A and B are shown apart, each in its own frame.
Chain A
Amino acid sequence: MAEVLARRSSRGIALCLGALFLVAACGGGGGNSGGGGASSTDVTVWTAWGGAELKAFKDVLAPFESSSGIKVHITTNRDSTNQIANGIAAGTDLPDIAPGPTDPVQVADWVSKGALKPIETALGDQFSAYISNTYPALTTAPGGSDDPYIGIIGGKHYEMMVKTQVKGLLWYNKKVYTGAAPKSFDDLLAINPSQYGAQKLFCAGFESGAASGWPASDQIDNIIMRQSGETVYTSWIQGKQKFSSPEIKLGYQTFLKEVSAANVYGGSNTALSTNFGKAGDPLFKSPAGCLFLEQATFITSFFQQDFPSLNLKAGTDFDFFAHPSMGNSQYDGNVNGFYDNFAMYNNTPAARKLMQYMATKDAQQIWVNDGGTLGAIKTLNYTDPVFKNAASVAGSAKNLLVTAGDFMPSDMQKAFWQSLLNVTNNPSSLNSELAHLDQVQAAAYQKS
């Protein structure tokens, strides 16, 4: 009896093993798509875009493919940076064109290994037109030095900008707030919401699942970059500026004014419990819960989704003004934003042609016609008043500064985001929170 059982169970083990083998083999496959020789007829492109963004990209590529006869092979790959890093380490095929890395250390590393080809090479005699057409903040390092955040290493460009977005915009309901855009942050705080029939000055919603806190970090980023300047802001991202330093502490204190019980709709518990997508809802309630919501351009679709019956129209029902000055006029040109770039990993004739095409006004016009984004070129035409307005904000920017948390080590980012939640919850914990952040900073940026 026992023997039969033993045999049965060993057969069972064999079966299980077969299944395991299968799972392992299926999981092990994949990888290794893209690549190819120095083709003049085919080009491989990796992008993180899907859905509407991917459709827009395909619309951009259609005229190129039909006029040049070059076939563009697109792969949507949301993990492209890691896979390219592995490809570089292993010496395997890389896509011809893919986004450059966002981590400044990685940019420099890939340049030194020759994986990234200069945009100067890709664009050839079109390069100077690219520089003069594109928003200066995207192509010119502050002070003319290198700036790995926009892909400039050793005086050469390695990331070609194709799209951009601006953040730190203050949205309002045009039927409620009828005043002018405040010149300074103090003017903004001085506005009396009850004069316009609103309960509070600001709305806020910091909840975002596992990423809760990022909307708050956008707010403090926009304060610090205009209050203490780009140098402090950048060295803070790089872990060279302590959180307890006077500049960053001042940023936190200013942020706390935006979320104080007197200024934020529903008090801190509401700001902390409300999802960022719903944060703007009180703008359109009657009576209005608040006058302003600080958020990037993407928020308009949330307004329209949440109030389908109001049929909200950008420009007539709601609008925004740019983040007001923090009182230091030399830093007023600092704008918080992000960008989409392409970098060239294989210097092939087809890849060069595609890069050259994507840098043209015609190509980028198709991009913005599909909506939802700004192009990188200054002189595009926008039918959507929101993007028209946002384009002027981008055009006035001296420096386009990236969102701090996104460029910090991820444990630093998490601690940074959560510290903003904690001080909103309990403002008296500010000093201990900053001391704790210093501790995390020291540990997070360690090399080993």
Chain B
Amino acid sequence: MGGIDLGQVTTALIAIIAVPLVLLGYIILGEQVIERLPDRIQEWIRPYFWALPAIGFATVFMVYPLLRTVVISFRNNADTDWIGLANYQYFFTFPDTLTSLRNSLLWLVFYTFFAVFLGLIIAILVDRVKYESLAKIAIFLPVPISAVAASIIWKFMFDYQPPGTTQTGTLNAAIGLVGHDPVAWLVNATTNNAALIFVGVWTAVGFCMVIISASLKAISSEVLEAARIDGANEFQIVRLVITPLLWPTITVVGTTMLINALKTFDIVYVMTNGAYNTDVIATQMFTQLQHNHLSRAAAVGVVLFVAIIPLLVVNVRRFQQQEEQR
């Protein structure tokens, strides 16, 4: 819509050409200086020199905003005065935010459990069938779909029509076959959170399966054979041999899922926008931002961040352990 703004094009061109040139200049000129230094200092200074722009960017775009967010969460909305813990008090006492906290907890437990558990089961099962890649593709298909598109697809699946009329929603058509009245999945308080979490699991199982399956392939068949010779049945092998060997991978996938669960936004926003008590922390933060309750939103963000820190720590430790093993 509308014409192309020449000013914007010029800015973009300058950015495309000038920015890489500046970076290149920084590197070439810097290298020339460094090369003249004694070898020992070269070795020491070069990584810092190369990493400096990245550190600068991370500081400007990540560290500073993070610190600012923490500061703002203790200040009033106009950022003129300290108000102590008022924003946090709001978050932990207001019914809406408490509901969102409860729902995020539901996501945390059920989304993570089902995504990882089903991913593990499916990975183990498809490992034993002939048409493995076909089955894997089918399970993996939802992963590249954007969460918004997935939510819209599932809105159609959950569609509700008055009892006695043709059910256009697949689920209600299915339960209609066995004579059950249609269920308003997204409205009914007993089904709506489960329905949303189900959509989340649907989009995540494929991811869990692929990762777990990859590390399953790394388990030597000799180990399994040895277990079989020792008289273990298949259930025992899965429980006592495969699962422990997969444990590091399961932890990494699990923590990733936990973080995803805490960050859940799009599915809830698109399907219910938090109606009928389905709000989660991230949609709550968005609502606060939308109405310029910036310091309240900051407090919600800080709570979310603090909740994620332990998971990050676990994840990073795992990665380090895996690096060391290699």
User: A: which residues have CB within 8 A of B?
Assistant: 6, 10-11, 13-14, 16-18, 20-22, 24-26, 28-30, 32-33, 50, 54, 74-76, 209-213, 265-267, 269-270, 272-273, 289, 409-412, 414-415, 417-418, 421-422, 425, 436, 439-440, 443-444, 447-448
In this complex, what residue of A is CB-closest to B152?
A: A209
How far, in Å, is A73 (CB) from chain B's closest CB? 10
How far, in Å, is A24 (CB) from chain B's closest CB? 8
- Which residues in B have their C-beta under 8 angstroms from that of A6? 47
- Which residues in A have their C-beta under 8 angstroms from that of B269? 210
- Which residues in B have their C-beta under 8 angstroms from that of A13? 50-51, 53-54
CB within 8 A of B2: which of A75, A211, A444? A75
B160 at interface, CB cutoff 8 A: yes
Q: A76-B2, A410-B290 given as contacts; is B187 within 8 A of A267 (CB)?
A: no
In this complex, what residue of B is CB-closest to A272?
A: B187
In this complex, what residue of B is CB-closest to A267?
A: B162
Give the A-B contact count at a CB cut-off of 8 A. 133
- Which residues in B have their C-beta under 8 angstroms from that of A16? 54
B160 lies within 8 A of A270 (CB) = yes
Name the prevailing secondary structure of the A interface residues. helix
For the complex, what is the distance from the CA of A414 to the CA of B22, rounded to whole Å? 47
**In the complex, which range does the number of interface residues on chain B fall in?**
35 or more
For the complex, what is the distance from the CA of A360 to the CA of B184, rounded to whole Å? 51
Q: A210-B269, A421-B276 given as contacts; is B16 within 8 A of A22 (CB)?
A: yes
B287 lies within 8 A of A418 (CB) = no
CB within 8 A of A17: which of B23, B78, B288? B23
For the complex, what is the distance from the CA of A225 to the CA of B2, rounded to whole Å? 40
A18 lies within 8 A of B20 (CB) = yes
Residue pairs across A and B with Cβ atoms less than 8 A apart, 11 shown, are A14-B50, A25-B14, A26-B11, A75-B2, A212-B272, A269-B188, A273-B160, A273-B186, A415-B96, A439-B95, A448-B78
In this complex, what residue of B is CB-closest to A211?
A: B273
B12 at interface, CB cutoff 8 A: yes
For the complex, what is the distance from the CA of A440 to the CA of B97, rounded to whole Å? 11
A410 lies within 8 A of B12 (CB) = no
For the complex, what is the distance from the CA of A213 to the CA of B287, rounded to whole Å? 16
- Which residues in A have their C-beta under 8 angstroms from that of B287? 410-411, 414
In this complex, what residue of A is CB-closest to B60?
A: A24
How far, in Å, is A430 (CB) from chain B's closest CB? 16
For the complex, what is the distance from the CA of A45 to the CA of B291, rounded to whole Å? 27
B77 lies within 8 A of A448 (CB) = yes
For the complex, what is the distance from the CA of A266 to the CA of B94, rounded to whole Å? 35
- Which residues in A have their C-beta under 8 angstroms from that of B16? 22, 25
For the complex, what is the distance from the CA of A241 to the CA of B197, rounded to whole Å? 38
* Sample of 4 more A-B contacts, CB < 8 Å, known A14-B23, A440-B96: A50-B1, A76-B2, A269-B187, A415-B96
Q: A10-B50, A16-B54, A21-B20 given as contacts; is B12 within 8 A of A270 (CB)?
A: no
In this complex, what residue of A is CB-closest to B53?
A: A17
Cβ proximity bits B159-182 to A, threshold 8 Å, 1 near / 0 not: 111110100000000000000001
For the complex, what is the distance from the CA of A143 to the CA of B50, rounded to whole Å? 71
A29 lies within 8 A of B7 (CB) = yes
- Which residues in A have their C-beta under 8 angstroms from that of B274? 414, 418
In this complex, what residue of A is CB-closest to B19?
A: A21
For the complex, what is the distance from the CA of A444 to the CA of B90, rounded to whole Å? 12
B270 at interface, CB cutoff 8 A: yes
For the complex, what is the distance from the CA of A117 to the CA of B287, rounded to whole Å? 34
B83 lies within 8 A of A448 (CB) = yes
- Which residues in B have their C-beta under 8 angstroms from that of A417? 275
Q: A17-B23, A21-B23, A33-B7 given as contacts; is B273 within 8 A of A410 (CB)?
A: no
CB within 8 A of A32: which of B7, B96, B189, B270? B7
For the complex, what is the distance from the CA of A21 to the CA of B20, rounded to whole Å? 8
A76 lies within 8 A of B54 (CB) = no
For the complex, what is the distance from the CA of A267 to the CA of B51, rounded to whole Å? 63
B15 at interface, CB cutoff 8 A: yes
For the complex, what is the distance from the CA of A289 to the CA of B164, rounded to whole Å? 12
For the complex, what is the distance from the CA of A24 to the CA of B14, rounded to whole Å? 12
CB within 8 A of B54: which of A17, A24, A267? A17
B12 lies within 8 A of A29 (CB) = yes
B223 at interface, CB cutoff 8 A: no
CB within 8 A of B159: which of A10, A273, A447? A273
- Which residues in A have their C-beta under 8 angstroms from that of B315? none
- Which residues in A have their C-beta under 8 angstroms from that of B162? 265-267, 269-270, 289
B76 at interface, CB cutoff 8 A: yes
B141 at interface, CB cutoff 8 A: no
How far, in Å, is B196 (CB) from chain A's closest CB? 14
Q: A33-B5, A50-B1 given as contacts; is B12 within 8 A of A26 (CB)?
A: yes
For the complex, what is the distance from the CA of A270 to the CA of B165, rounded to whole Å? 11
